[in-house]
């Protein structure tokens, strides 16, 4: 392992990409501590520490993705969430609206237009979120001492600018660094919260032997669940495909066997994000309008983490969105048509509709266990907090994102290493040939 790390910095191009990525992630973390003018950060932090804020509300979900910037009232409080939302919407529209579907099939030019539309959508969503957040902050007691027009104007401009800067940092990392810049920014925000959480976890144990046993048990569960998430994230169902031989002149094309890798969880973390947003929205509305008691208070209690209705709805929504998003991004009919176009077929299945039906049946079967597993992981933070007295939020959405981004980045680093080793081997072979 240490030899592999050393090799990473022996390759000039890879070394440059890694250092570039590290520099821009450091810039992102430094900007995370620049506050929005006019906000009392200590009062806002106290709100997030109370039962009314933080976990169990849509604000806690947002704060998770922006690495605590929302809780600190940072200029990066919106983070990259408006960009992610706009990207998901544009991707879904590509499967519904013919115009976006046409752009998606136009190659580089179409992708360039889609990126431009995504940026415009990001600005619009950031503006809407910024206005909503500044209005919400002024309604919190003691958070905004002077909540006049000047605060709203500067707050909205600051938050929109912060989102555009984060988007630019992510795009620069993707273009000049290693890995997906947007994903790495979310990764850095989530990881930044872990050291403080682990320190607090052992500090609160004190000299209580039972507390130490629970902490050690929590660590074992964390390692086991992380390994399980890695296993499921990498798990694929391979569908064999045979390509027929074609003779053109004296050359023979095709004739080889390959496979279609279908992931057990094609949708990744998207179903959890959608499910959390849907279920937390009415809970947050109930929090605002349930101050005087009545049905809203009851609804808020039903939709709180740990409640039976919350758990049932949460698991059901995750499974539903897993199937929904998989159907959006994978089209069995299109895959079957492409196989026929290039002379391929699945052994034992007739080309065309029979092949499409078979691929669809495989997707239906493998998506369910993947969705159920991710639903259990999503429920893990509440279970660990309740049963193991864990003082910080571990698992769920954050863990799945961290594992997915880490695996993707490591695969890119590995491809650079393999490519360099392959080139070096070929050069040595040529040198020996000349000597002989």
Convert the pLDDT of each residue in 330-387 to its tens digit: 889 888 888 888 778 888 888 888 899 999 999 999 999 989 998 888 888 777 777 7
Tokens 């049905």 sit at which residue?
Answer: 295
Please give the residue that has the higher pLDDT: either 3 or 134: 134
Question: Does the pTM exceed 0.95?
Answer: no
3-state secondary structure of 248: strand
Indicate whether 317 pLDDT > 60.
yes
Average pLDDT over residues 125-153: 86
Does domain 208-436 fall under CATH 1.10.3370.10? My reply is: yes
Strand partners, 237: 262
CA-based nearest residue to 169, from 75, 72, 80, 69: 80
Q: Residue 156 — pLDDT band, cuts 50, 70, 90?
A: very high
Convert the pLDDT of each residue in 264-292 to its tens digit: 888 887 888 778 777 776 766 665 565 55
CA-based nearest residue to 258, from 334, 342, 188: 342
Predicted confidence at residue 432, as pLDDT, reads 37
How many helices, marked H, and strands, marked E, lie in the chain?
17, 5
Convert the pLDDT of each residue in 396-413 to its tens digit: 777 888 888 888 888 888
* 384-386-387-393 Cα dihedral, nearest 10 degrees: 20
Do 12-192 and 208-436 agree at the fold level?
yes
Whether 137 contacts 44, CB under 8 Å = yes
Predicted confidence at residue 426, as pLDDT, reads 38
Domain borders along the chain are 12-192, 208-436
State the Cα–Cα distance between residues 33 and 21, nearest whole angstrom: 19
CA end-to-end span of the chain, whole Å?
36
Convert the pLDDT of each residue in 325-346 to its tens digit: 888 888 898 888 888 887 788 8
Indicate whether 434 pLDDT > 50.
no
Instruction: Give CA separation, 3 vs 9, 20, 407, in Å.
Output: 10, 22, 19
Predicted confidence at residue 422, as pLDDT, reads 40
State the Cα–Cα distance between residues 401 and 428, nearest whole angstrom: 41
Hey, which of 58-67, 315-324, 337-346, 419-428 has the most confident mean pLDDT?
Answer: 315-324
Instruction: Give CA separation, 430 vs 129, 231, 288, in Å.
Output: 60, 40, 73
Please give the residue that has the higher pLDDT: either 295 or 160: 160
Q: What letter does residue 178 receive in the DSSP assignment?
A: S
Q: How many CA atoms lie within 13 A of 157 on its CB side?
A: 7
**CATH no. for 12-192:** 1.10.3370.10
Whether 74 contacts 34, CB under 8 Å = yes
DSSP class per residue in 17-57: HHHHHHHHHHHHHHHTTPBPTT--HHHHHHHHHSTTSSTTS
Tokens 């002989």 sit at which residue?
Answer: 436
Spatial strand order in the sheet of 236-243: 257-263, 236-243, 344-345
Percentage above 90 pLDDT, the chain: 13
């Amino acid at each position: 392992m240490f030899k592999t790390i050393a090799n990473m910095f022996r390759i000039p191009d890879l070394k440059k990409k890694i250092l570039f990525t590290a520099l821009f992630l450091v810039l992102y973390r430094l900007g995370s501590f620049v506050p929005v003018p006019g906000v009392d950060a200590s009062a806002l932090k106290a709100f997030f520490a109370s039962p009314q804020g933080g976990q169990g509300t849509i604000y806690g979900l947002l704060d998770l993705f922006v690495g605590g910037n929302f809780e600190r009232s940072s200029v990066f409080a919106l983070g990259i969430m408006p960009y992610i939302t706009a990207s998901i919407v544009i991707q879904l529209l590509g499967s519904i609206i013919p115009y976006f579907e046409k752009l998606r099939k136009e190659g580089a030019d179409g992708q360039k237009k889609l990126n431009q539309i995504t940026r415009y959508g990001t600005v619009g969503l950031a503006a809407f979120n910024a206005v909503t957040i500044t209005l919400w902050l002024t309604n919190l007691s003691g958070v905004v001492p002077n909540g006049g027009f000047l605060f709203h104007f500067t707050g909205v401009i600051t938050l929109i600018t912060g989102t555009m800067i984060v988007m630019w940092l992510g795009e620069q990392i993707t273009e000049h660094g290693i890995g997906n810049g947007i994903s790495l920014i979310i990764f850095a925000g989530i990881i930044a919260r872990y050291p403080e959480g682990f320190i607090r976890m052992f500090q609160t144990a004190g000299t209580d032997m039972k507390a130490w046993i629970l902490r050690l048990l929590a660590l074992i569960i964390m390692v086991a669940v992380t390994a399980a998430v890695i296993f499921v994230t990498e798990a694929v169902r391979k569908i064999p495909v045979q390509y027929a031989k074609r003779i053109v002149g004296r050359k023979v094309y095709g004739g080889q066997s390959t496979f279609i890798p279908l992931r057990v969880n094609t949708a990744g973390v998207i179903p959890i994000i959608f499910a959390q947003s849907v279920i937390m929205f009415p809970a947050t509305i109930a929090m605002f309008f349930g101050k005087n008691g009545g049905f809203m208070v009851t609804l808020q209690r039903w939709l709180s983490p740990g409640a039976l209705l919350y758990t049932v709805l949460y698991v059901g929504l995750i499974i539903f969105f897993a199937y929904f998003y998989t159907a959006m991004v994978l089209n069995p009919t299109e895959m079957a048509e492409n196989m026929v176009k290039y002379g391929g077929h699945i052994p034992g299945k007739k080309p065309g509709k029979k092949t499409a039906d078979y691929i669809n049946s495989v997707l239906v079967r493998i998506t369910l266990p993947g969705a159920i597993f991710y639903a259990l992981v999503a429920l893990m933070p509440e279970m660990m907090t309740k049963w193991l007295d864990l003082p910080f939020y571990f698992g769920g959405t954050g863990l799945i994102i961290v594992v997915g981004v880490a695996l993707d980045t490591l695969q890119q680093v590995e491809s650079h290493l393999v490519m360099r080793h392959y080139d070096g081997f070929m050069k040595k072979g040529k040198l020996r040939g000349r000597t002989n």
